[in-house]
Amino acid sequence: MTVAVARWTRTQVAERVAESFTAGTVVNLGIGMPTLVADLVPVNRAVIFHSENGVLGIGPSPPPEEADPDLINASKDAITVLPGASFFHQADSFALIRGGHIDIAVMGAFQVSARGDLANWSTGDDRIPAVGGAMDLAAGAKSVVAMLTHTTSDGEPKLVDRCTLPLTGSGVVTRVYTDLIVADVLDGAFIVREMAPGMTVESLQAVTAAPVRLGLDRDSAL
């Protein structure tokens, strides 16, 4: 009997990322799916969210009717700020990134290799003019995790042995969160910590262009 695979929703993927943060962690949330994470971390856990346009201390997204057009993140989404939040010049924001003061960067991705290479700024169609601040985050954050759908809209794997798209950073990704798995990137393979309901190692390998192996639970350290 074939068991149907229930892919996680974007919110369910974000919940798994949010669960991994501990109090006092400084986290940068990249453009796209990562921005969902800020709404899912309890304020009393004291996770400090950073945005490269110059904000430290981002809170949950506001209701649409309460959005302040002057309060946005790097994705231009409306945000709130928590007590003690600070605003600063973008140059100072990048000094935080380049100085190694960001604990975790959560980034979207077009491809992630089994060696931890990250490709997240170009698919070759020239819609995005340049890599921008993504390369600074990939190089400067203490830990980089990627959030992405497991396959493209055409069903092609995004987790690969070697990236074929332009790289943002080489050997930087430590963990991936997709709509099928949570996995660590280790020793040229994706070490699976959790799989979506109905998923098997065999069916996972069929949609992953790199070795996958079962590992421990997802609570292991980043």
Active-site residue numbers?
52
How many CB atoms neighbour CB 157 within 10 A? Answer: 16
- Give CA–CA dist 138/31, Å, rounded: 13
Alpha carbons 79 and 39: distance in angstroms, whole number: 10
Kind of pairing, strands 81-87 and 55-58? Answer: antiparallel
Q: Round to whole Å and give the CA distance between 13 and 165.
A: 24
CB atoms closer than 10 angstroms to residue 24 = 10
**What is the C-alpha separation between 134 and 66, in angstroms, rounded?**
30
CA distance 57 to 18: 16
